[in-house]
Amino acid sequence: MSPALYKKIGIASAIMMASVFFSRVIGLFREMAIAYAGGAGGDVDAYQIAFVLPEILNHIAASGFLSITFIPIFSNYLANNNEDEGWRVFSLIMTCFGAGLLFLILIAMILAPQLVSLIAPGLSDPQIFSKAVRMTRIILPAQFFFFLGGLLMAVQFSKERFAIPALAPLLYNIGIISGGMLLGSRFGMEGFSWGVLGGAFTGSFLLQYWGAKKAGMKFQISFNFMHPDLRKYVYLTLPLMFGLTMTFSTEFFLKFFGSFLPHGSIAALNYGLRIMFIMVGLFGQAVGMATYPFMARLVAENKIEEMNKLLNDTLRALSLVVPFSVLAMVLRHEIVLILFQRGRFDAAATEFTSGLLVFLLAGTFAFAAQTVVVRGFYAMQNTLFPAGFGTLAVIFSIPLYYYCMNVMGAGGIALAISLSAFLQVFLLYALWNKKSRNIKSRAVYLFFTKITLLSAVMGILLEWFKRMFLNGFDTTTFSGSFLLSVLLSALFAVIFVSSGYLLKIKEISEMAERIAGKIKKITYQ
């Protein structure tokens, strides 16, 4: 692979990582605002349940997959200097699928009470049920803006423009926070729901429309259902519409099984999941989004060996999320207290959520790796296999969720999330290696094993040090928890970097040198 291409990937990754980082930071403020307003109680459960039906519609419209399915089609037109035809296909997809989605949204709003009762069958409190239905109807129209925005961002990605799409999640989260702050005193959690709608309109649609126009967008309403590339798009998208992905099933099962547990269980599980997803976003989502257009190009040029090298190198780098996950496990109580314990989120909620967090953090690498591995199949325009595999994996995980919930309650659901994620991603990667003849995958397995063992030893040492030497800190307060977290994180950094040099793990040493270089550069400016 040429150095120029690696440089482009690096720039794109830096843009998307910055976007994901700031989005996750603002997302944390969003969750903090929700925790302050609703704690870990029934109203927050209703708010979380209100997202399930919109997420199902989003999944059916394949809004989250638009970049994956549309980029290869549009990129082929760009490569063949036939951009005008690419815009015609863009117009067809936006018109046909957009009209269909509007119809489904209308039906879902009418049938919201019946559908919510199916989604959360354990929800018996009539007040919470009524709130869940009302907030569902408020959030549903946002899916139309997500669909439009996904397509508008896809064309920008195809033209290697990442800056404006990177702003979408930032404005979306700002919209949610603003809705809660401005309307929360009057409407409670419903204020956050209106914020969802406003954030989707501004961040996912309005801003992305401007960005696509800057990229040369040409749009006209068109209903030519016989266009061959519209049919190709449908062929690529259908498996994603009806297939069950790991992330989608996680969100659904959390709320479905959580509805049978005491009030606040869904809220606590969601808070823990958001903390875990911060690390997934920083290590996995940004890299996956940035590398995918380049994967698609390597496939188009029939450079499968180079794409395998890119995939393997990316997974090795992602393995570094494991030791950071272990550090977060050791600091689980302090992290939850620092982030959420204020307002209606009390000490009992902190204790409950931190107990769930340790199980969720065990799946961090699996979720991060899945965002990259599955894109290998998508780059080859093979959506059927990963969709079919994902659906079977989700179906076979249902007994695991049911068993773990009955044995361990909310903790069992958290454990099932991580176990099912690991089983899915490792099996999917093994199947990819067989399909693409990725003969160098063994090095990835060995590296992951080495990092996992190192992380386990580090976790034991950090937990021992915390109990033996840092038990004087008052971890029931923000200041005590913050100081303990800083000290333990500093010790972690020393052990982590030293281990990288002693064990000659280049990924660790190179990361340390890059960070040191940036600190030195900032210091001398």
Specify whether 235 is located in the same domain as 260: no
pLDDT attached to residue 67: 60
Do 201 and 312 have their domain in common? Answer: no
Measured CA to CA in angstroms, residue 461 lies from 327, 329, 354, 457, 468 at distances of 11, 13, 20, 6, 10
Asked if residue 5 is part of any domain, the answer here is no
Q: Where do we find the tokens 């489904």? A: 104
29 assigned to some structural domain: no
Residue 6 lies in a domain: no
Supply the pLDDT for residue 518: 65
Q: Hunting for tokens 């049919």 — which residue is that?
A: 231
Say which amino acid occupies 215. Answer: A
109 found inside a domain = yes
The pLDDT mean for the chain works out to 84
Residue 27, in any domain of the structure: no
Which residues are within 8 A (CB) of 414 and not within 5 positions of it... i.e. 6 or more apart?
Answer: 269, 272, 356, 357, 359, 360
Whether residue 90 is found in the same domain as residue 165: yes
Q: Is the pLDDT of residue 245 over 80?
A: no
Do 185 and 134 fall into the same domain? yes
**Where does residue 385 rank: exposed (0-12), middle (13-18), buried (19+ CB within 10 A)?**
middle
Asked if residue 338 has pLDDT above 90, the reply is yes
- 241-255, 464-478, 499-513: which has the highest mean pLDDT? 464-478
Residue 90 pLDDT:
82
Residues 198 and 320 in one domain: no
Q: Which of 10-14, 205-209, 387-391 has the highest mean pLDDT?
A: 205-209
Domain boundary pick from 213, 242, 271: 242
Among the residue ranges 374-383, 394-403, 447-456, 510-519, the one predicted with the least confidence is: 510-519
pLDDT at 383: 73
Residue 36 lies in a domain: no
Name the band, by pLDDT with cuts 50, 70 and 90, for residue 242: low
Type of residue at 197:
L
In terms of average pLDDT, the best of 131-140, 204-213, 250-259 is 131-140
Residue 482 binned pLDDT confidence (cut-offs 50, 70, 90): very high
- pLDDT tens across 99-115, in order? 888 999 999 999 999 99
Q: Are residues 170 and 209 in the same domain?
A: yes
Query: DSSP 3-state helix, strand, coil percentages of the chain (rounded to 5)?
Result: 85, 0, 15
**DSSP assignment of 234-289:** HHHHHHHHHS--HHHHHHHHHHHHHTTSPTTHHHHHHHHHHHHHHHHIIIIIHHHH
pLDDT of residue 41: 81
User: What is the number of other CB atoms lying within 10 angstroms of the CB of residue 325?
Assistant: 23
Find the helix or strand (DSSP H, E) in which 73 lies.
helix 66-79
- Look at residue 241 in the predicted model and tell me its pLDDT: 67
Residues 231 and 259 grouped into a single domain: no
On whether both 222 and 259 belong to a single domain, the answer is no
Would you say 295 and 376 are in contact if contact means Cβ atoms under 8 Å apart? Answer: yes
Whole domain around residue 123: which residue ranges? 41-242
**Percentage above 70 pLDDT, the chain:** 88
Q: Which of 19-23, 265-269, 347-351 has the lowest mean pLDDT?
A: 19-23
pLDDT digits (tens, 9 = 90+) for 39-52: 888 889 999 999 88
Q: Are residues 275 and 131 in the same domain?
A: no
Write down the pLDDT at residue 279: 81
Q: Which residues contact 428 (CB under 8 A, 6 or more apart)?
A: 370, 373, 374, 386, 389
| pLDDT value of residue 125 | 87
Residue 11 pLDDT exceeds 60? no
Q: Which residue has the higher pLDDT, 74 or 361?
A: 361
For residues 470-479, average pLDDT: 89
The verdict on residue 117 lying in a domain is yes
Name the more confident of 216 and 321. Answer: 321
Which of 137, 207, 113 is closest to 169 using CA atoms? 207
Q: Among the three residues 193, 215, 242, which one is the final residue of a domain in this structure? A: 242
Q: Is residue 346 located within the same domain as residue 403? A: yes
Q: Which two tokens stand for residue 265?
A: 């269980």
Number of domains within the chain? 2
User: Helices (DSSP H) in 111-141: which residue ranges?
Assistant: 112-119, 126-139
Same domain, 87 and 184: yes
Q: Residue 8 pLDDT > 70, yes or no?
A: no
* Window from 147-156, 222-231, 457-466 with minimum mean pLDDT: 222-231
pTM attached to this predicted model: 0.79
pLDDT of 525 > 70? The answer is no
Task: Show Cβ contacts of residue 6 under 8 Å, excluding neighbours closer than 6 positions.
Answer: none
pLDDT in tens, 289-326: 667 767 777 877 788 888 888 888 888 888 888 999 99
Shared-domain flag, residues 212 and 351? no
63 has pLDDT over 60? no
For residue range 370-414, list pLDDT tens digits in order.
888 888 887 887 777 887 888 888 889 999 999 999 999 999 999
Q: Is residue 4 part of a domain?
A: no
The last residue of one of the domains, among 199, 216, 242, is: 242
